[in-house]
Every structure is written in C-alpha cells, then in structure tokens.
C-alpha cells in the first residue's frame, strides 16, 4: 500500500506543480538583440481568451539591473512576463517603463510592484491614468471578464519624463524621450544605445491598424523626427520587430491619407458623421481596419476642423 | 446651485456614488428614474412622428459620438417644437443637453457630439406647444479598444478655451430663396467631466464645462442649449434654421467657472 500512496502523492505533487506552472507560465519571448527580449503580442482586441496580451512587451538586461518596457494587458500577462524575466536573469528589476497609458500596455503593472522597482512614464501619464483608469477597468470587464479584471490595479509612474531622460542598467544606457501629443498625449520611446533598438510604443504600428488617440498632426510630425533616430531596429507597439526606419512607411502613408481625406471632407462641409469614408483606400493593407478606422477618422475630423 | 446645474450634475453626483452598481444597470432600466428626475414624471407620448434621433449603432470614438435630432412635424401641423432634451441613460450625467428652439427660427435639425460611456439607450424628448412631451429613442453600443470618453490632447483642449467659430453651409437642393440655412458653431472648451480622481489628493477634479449656449440671428433667438458633461470636448452644434434676413449671427456661451464667451459674425447671404 505504501507503493500506491507514493503514486498518489506523486500525482498530487504533479497536479500542484502544473497548476502553479499555469499561473507562472513564461510569456514566450524572443531575443531580438543582445540582452533585449520581446513578446510579440497577438494582433487582436483584448479578450478573455487572449489574456489581453495584444501589445508588444519586452525587457532589457544590463550588467546590474533589468528594465521592463510595458507590462501587458492583464495582471496575468504581467506575471508571465515576470516569469520570463526570472527564467533568464536574477538581476533586480530597477525600472518598469510605460510607453503610454493604454490598457494593453499598463494593466500588467501590478505584477512588478516591489521595493527597488521604479515606474517610469511620460509626465502626462498620471493625468491619463486618472482620467481613464476606472473607465478602462469597467469597459474591459465586458470583454475580458471578472477573473482577469478583478486583480488589476492601475499603477501610475513615480518617475516622470519630459524631454529626455537617461537610465542606467549598468554598462547599458537607455535614452527615454517624451513626445508631444501623437498616438496619445503621453507617448514615450525607449532607445537602447548598446544595440540600437528602439522601443517605440504605439508611435509605431505595423500590420495592426494605427490607432489615433492624441493628435494626427502631432503624430505625423513625430514620425518625421522618429525617422531620424539612429536605430537599427524597432519594437513597435503592435506588429513585428522591424528594420528602421523602413518600419514607418506604412503608418506614415495611412496617416497622411487619413489626414488628407478628412481635410477634404471638412473643406466640402460634410458632417463628422461622414468621416468614416476617409482612408477607405487603406482597408486592404491593415488588420482590424473596421475596428479602428472610423474611430480614427472621427478623431482626426474633430482636430482638423479647427485648422 | 441653479436648477439646471442640479439637474445636470445632481444626477451625475448620485450615479458617481452608486458607481459599483453601474454594471448591474443593464438589468435595471434607468429610464423610469430619469423621467422622474429630469421630467418630473410627466407622461411620455410616442414621439416617432414628432422627432427623429440618429446615432451610429456603435460609439466608434467614445469621446465623440455624432448625434442628430430632427423634427418631423408636417408643414400643416399647427404645433411647434419648443424644446428637445437629449438623455444618454447609462452615462454618469445622463442629461446631455436641453435645446430650446427660437420661436421664429423654425429650427428643424440639430447635430452635436456626445460622450458615450457604456451600452446605452439614448432618448430624445420633444416638448411641443400642445404642452405634451414626445419621446423617441435609439440604442448605442459602447466603443471597443482603448477609446475613452476623455480628452485625447488635454493641453490643446485647454489652449483652445473660449475660441469660437461660425460656419455656414450650402443646403443641398434648397436655394437661398427658401430661407433655409445650415450653420455650425464651434466652441473651444475642454468640457471636462470632472470624473477623474487626483491621485495625490484623492479628490475628484471639479467639472468644467459649457452649461449654456445662446444663438441669435440679429436679435431673434435661434437656439439655446443647456449642456452637461456628456457633450464632447469643444462643443459643436450644427443646425438648420430659417433666415429672417438677418445680417449678423451672434453666439454667447457660459461655462461652470463663470466665463462668458461672446462673438458675432456677419452672415454671408450672398447666395448659398
């Protein structure tokens, strides 16, 4: 009987181990450059099924410490990102950097709250999180469900960036840059000098229809400046890691088309309800186009009509 | 607190403290309570022949959802529309706006933009010269993605405070002889909802919005709006009315901090 008890106990241990593995499963990440790891988010809306894991999130390992760049669309994704980091290094996580305030980039923040970790964001990020945090939790409860949403807390930054800020991970300098309103009004980029890797947040979209939640004119201006950065590659907020600055081509064309079409509608006296027709020539080139284009056109209209 | 503020904001305050219950609201139709709060429980008549409300089926951008209100009274009808009240049932401040129509301006269409926080019924209630209320409604699904009923570019919104623009449009199919005109007033204003909490003080930032707008052609009232926080940033009213031959168009807006914004434009009557 001792034999059977042993099997039972082994089975119990196995079950327990599997359960905790499911909880702390590593988020799949790719090493895209020396010490730079990225999880490529699914091109989709945040749902119960995908744990909100739709944005690209990543981390950079220096001699002394680690910086996390965006934490994902749920606490569950944040924990899995933490597990992916711990599977690769035991160094302390010194910084968690949020590229902006959208839920798919900040909902995982709670997984990284501990002594010695500083949350970093655009100087406007606290205002955005204050204005939208509760609304986002309510809104995403509908598509992600109570189980994922209940455990999420909105964690604002305590280190703010306006202009640029250098962070040191030990023989590894990161240059953070805060942008004027573009994709949103709290966009922040992270440049890893050692490998020439630019984490652009949602200032850069590939494949996934760009989402306008700041200023279309500001965004087009930011694209011109971004293109001049001496990066080798970009980690966009959505879409594959890509060559720089070629990665900007599709997004620039989309935004220029949208602005030009909307300007035509405004000039000819069309009402904002007609904005949806703008940029329809771009439909075949993007994923999730019907989820976002009308919204982008509406936002662009409300900006361009003040020109 | 003036009566209209109580109505516009009192409801918001109540719902704010009841926020944890907001999710169950789908099962609990707020409309009967709103009829009591906003319309003193006056009877609601079927308004399908009196007024139309047009909105997209989904709020693509939660902060800017176009809405058009159109009167449907036939030319021979002796009744007049005195006012139209727009109610977004599931918003934190459901009473979005009350429009009063100038007695001689024959306003037949009003378009504006509103914030939509949730899946919601949107009601339009017309008060007619027969003293009765007529109601019609539509349903709007909340937006998806990271769209929020909040400022996209908060600094720019502040920078535009008090700017006013007037624009006239050609009315398709109707020459200037009919007297029908279509025009638009834009007011730069953050129309801040006040629903965000300051994370340091843990207090709600005070609401800051345009609560009153009056439009005249010469000295005749065309349209007034009592507005609430459900009206989008940079309030924008596009409307169709009948010209009395006036040479000037005048707008006056007031906000909750007591600012008064006034401007006057010459009407281009050259043949639109």
B196: closest chain A residue by CA: A131
Look up residue B90 and give its two tokens.
């599931």
Residue ranges covered by each domain of chain B:
3-142+149-266
End-to-end CA distance of chain A: 84
Task: List, as one string, the DSSP characters of B56-73.
Answer: -SB-SSTT-EEEEEEE--
A126 in reach of chain B (CB within 8 A): yes
What DSSP letter does each residue of A14-63 carry, written as one string? Answer: HHHHHHHHHHTPPPP-EEEETTEEEE---SS---TTTTT--S-EEEEE-S
CA distance B7 to chain A (A): 23
Work out the mean pLDDT of chain B and round it to a whole number. 87
* Percent above pLDDT 70 for chain A: 92
Cβ burial, residue A51 (10 Å; 0-12/13-18/19+)? buried
- CB–CB of A16/A22 below 8 Å? no
> What's residue B226's pLDDT?
97
Domains and CATH numbers, chain A: 18-245 (3.60.15.10)
As a whole number of Å, the CA-based R_g of chain B is 18
Place of tokens 């652009």: A200
- Residue of B227, B250, B261 lying closest to B9 (CA atoms): B227
Name which of A101, A273, A288 to mutate to probe chain B: the one with the most chain B Cβ atoms within 10 A of its Cβ.
A273
Residue A89 at interface with chain B, using a CB cutoff of 8 Å: no
Residue A10 has pLDDT above 80, yes or no: no
Query: Chain B 218-237, CB below 8 Å of chain A: which residues?
Result: 232-234, 236
B111 touches chain A (CB under 8 A): yes
- For B3-142+149-266, which CATH class? mainly beta
Over residues A84-110, the pLDDT tens digits come to: 999 999 999 999 999 999 999 999 999
C-alpha to C-alpha distance for B38 and B135, rounded to whole angstroms = 13
Per-residue pLDDT of B206-217, as tens digits, reads: 889 999 999 999
Report the distance separating Cα A41 and Cα A256, nearest Å. 26
Smallest CA-to-CA distance from B107 within B135, B75, B70 is with: B70
B204-228 CB burial, b ≥16 within 10 A, e <16: ebebbbbbbbbbbbeeebbbbbbbb
Instruction: Dump pLDDT digits (tens) for B46-77.
Output: 999 999 999 999 999 999 999 999 999 998 99
ipTM of predicted complex: 0.90
- Residue B211, min C-alpha distance to chain A (Å): 20
B165 interfacial to chain A (CB closer than 8 Å): yes
B162 reaches A (C-beta below 8 A): no
Determine the residue of chain B that is closest to A218 in CA distance. Answer: B153
Chain B partners within 8 Å of A139 (Cβ): 142-143, 148
Judged against a pLDDT cut of 50, whether residue A57 lies above it is answered with yes
């Amino acid at each position: 009987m001792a034999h059977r008890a042993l099997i039972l106990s082994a089975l119990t241990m196995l079950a327990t181990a599997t359960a905790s593995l499911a909880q702390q499963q590593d988020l799949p990440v790719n090493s895209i450059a020396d010490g730079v790891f990225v999880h490529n988010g699914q091109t989709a809306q945040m749902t119960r099924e995908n744990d909100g894991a739709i944005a690209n999130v990543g981390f950079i390992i220096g001699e002394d410490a680690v910086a996390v760049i965006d934490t994902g669309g749920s606490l569950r994704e944040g924990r899995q990102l933490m597990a992916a980091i711990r599977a690769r290094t035991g160094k302390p996580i010194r910084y968690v950097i949020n590229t902006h305030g959208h839920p798919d980039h900040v909902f995982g923040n709670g997984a990284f709250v501990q002594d010695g970790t500083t949350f970093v964001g655009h100087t406007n990020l606290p205002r955005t999180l204050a204005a939208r945090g509760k609304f986002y939790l309510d809104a995403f409860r509908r598509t992600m469900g109570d189980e994922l949403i209940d455990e999420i807390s909105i964690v604002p930054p305590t280190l703010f960036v306006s202009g640029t800020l250098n962070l040191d991970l030990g023989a590894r300098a990161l240059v953070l840059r805060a942008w004027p309103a573009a994709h949103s009004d709290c966009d922040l980029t992270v440049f890893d000098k050692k490998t020439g890797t630019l984490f652009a947040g949602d200032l850069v979209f590939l494949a996934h229809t760009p989402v306008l939640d700041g200023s279309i004119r500001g965004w087009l201006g930011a694209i011109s400046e971004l293109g001049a950065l001496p990066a080798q590659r970009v980690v966009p907020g959505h879409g594959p890691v890509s060559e720089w600055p070629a990665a900007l081509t599709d997004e620039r064309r989309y935004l220029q088309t949208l602005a030009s079409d909307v300007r035509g509608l405004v000039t000819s006296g069309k009402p904002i309800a007609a904005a949806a027709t703008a940029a329809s020539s771009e439909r075949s080139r993007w994923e999730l186009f019907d989820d976002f284009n009308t919204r982008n056109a509406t936002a662009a209209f409300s900006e361009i009509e003040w020109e | 607190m003036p009566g209209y503020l109580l109505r516009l904001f009192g409801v918001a305050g109540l719902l704010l403290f009841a926020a944890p219950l907001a999710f169950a609201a789908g099962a609990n139709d707020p409309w009967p309570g709103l009829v009591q709060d906003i319309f003193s429980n006056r009877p609601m008549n079927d308004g399908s022949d009196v007024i139309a409300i047009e909105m997209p089926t989904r709020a693509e951008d939660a902060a800017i959802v176009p809405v058009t209100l159109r009167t449907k009274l036939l030319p021979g009808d002796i009744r007049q529309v005195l006012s139209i009240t727009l109610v977004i049932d599931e918003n934190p401040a459901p009473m979005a706006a009350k429009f009063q129509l100038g007695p001689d301006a024959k306003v037949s269409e009003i378009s504006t933009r509103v914030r939509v926080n949730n899946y919601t019924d949107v009601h339009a209630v017309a008060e007619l010269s027969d003293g009765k209320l007529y109601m019609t409604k539509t349903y709007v699904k909340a937006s998806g993605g990271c769209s929020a009923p909040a400022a996209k570019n908060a600094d720019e919104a502040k920078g535009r405070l008090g700017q006013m623009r007037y624009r006239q449009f050609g009315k398709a199919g109707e020459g200037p002889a009919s007297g029908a005109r279509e025009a638009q007033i834009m007011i730069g204003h953050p129309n801040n909802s006040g629903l965000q909490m300051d994370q340091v003080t843990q207090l709600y930032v005070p609401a800051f919005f345009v609560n009153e707008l009056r439009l005249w052609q010469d000295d005749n009232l065309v349209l007034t709006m009592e507005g609430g926080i459900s009206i989008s940033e940079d309030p924008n009213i596009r409307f169709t009315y009948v010209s009395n031959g006036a040479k000037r168009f005048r707008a006056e807006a007031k906000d909750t901090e007591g600012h008064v914004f006034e401007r006057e434009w010459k009407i281009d009557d050259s043949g639109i």
